[in-house]
Amino acid sequence: MGRIAECFARLRTENRKAFVSYIMGGDPDVETSLKVMRGLPGAGVDIIELGLPFTDPMADGETIQLAGQRALEGGMTLNRLLEMVRAFRQDDDTTPIVVMGYYNPIYSHGVERFLDDAKAAGIDGLIVVDLPPEEDDELCLPALAKGIDFIRLATPTTDDARLPKVLQNTSGFVYYVSITGITGAAAAQSTEVGPEVARIKARTDLPVIVGFGIRTPDAAAEIASVADGCVVGSAIVGELAKGRPVEEVLEFVSGLAGGAHRA
């Protein structure tokens, strides 16, 4: 059993929902980013999503785009992201890490080489937003063969005809995007999310985690109450963009985690 499956098994025994936090690797700089990453588990984060910056982030809103630009301007690369994960794993061999990004940097690195490097560094899962299920041979199936979960996004426009295709090779968990559009665009509503989560869970035994549009502890609690947990990204990245000290960012994260865990 991998770290992601172990995490959800533990949460089920504790009757708790998962809190997943996103940060952009290397934002605002590698040192600060690693400090925040190392502090996330202590702030209540169950799974870390680590963004891989890319020059053309088509699915990201302004907050995440700017974070990626800051990271790239600071010299962040795929190899440095792997170094971050290795440094994190020196002190934490339990918290699952999911790398979220786009296919181009992975392709440029070489798929087999990347998967070997990712596994050795301690990466547990991948979310690659620009690889549809029709391209599973490119990365999804090789990742699964290496023991790395490949996590799919389902959206409000993923209808019943499309859903089985989305779920067919998904592992780890399903990431339900609560709103149509880019990251950080609007507020998620549990009345709309709940029926969609139920529809997905009728088709899979995997946990369903909801992201996009969650900015407050109350919103985290509300959304987590109708799913297996929630993801917060733009709100956390926004705190880093304001130049908040690491301790204040982690305090903000702790509040969000507390909201998700009381659901």
Type of residue at 251: E
What is the helix (H) or strand (E) element at residue 112, kind and residue range? helix 111-121
Give dist(CA 247, CA 138) in Å, integer.
40
What is the helix (H) or strand (E) element at residue 105, kind and residue range? helix 103-109
Peptide bond into 28 cis (omega under 30): yes
Query: Which positions are annotated as active-site residues?
Result: 49, 60
Question: Who contacts 232 (Cβ-Cβ below 8 Å, separation ≥6)?
Answer: 19, 20, 21, 22, 211, 214, 215, 220, 253, 256
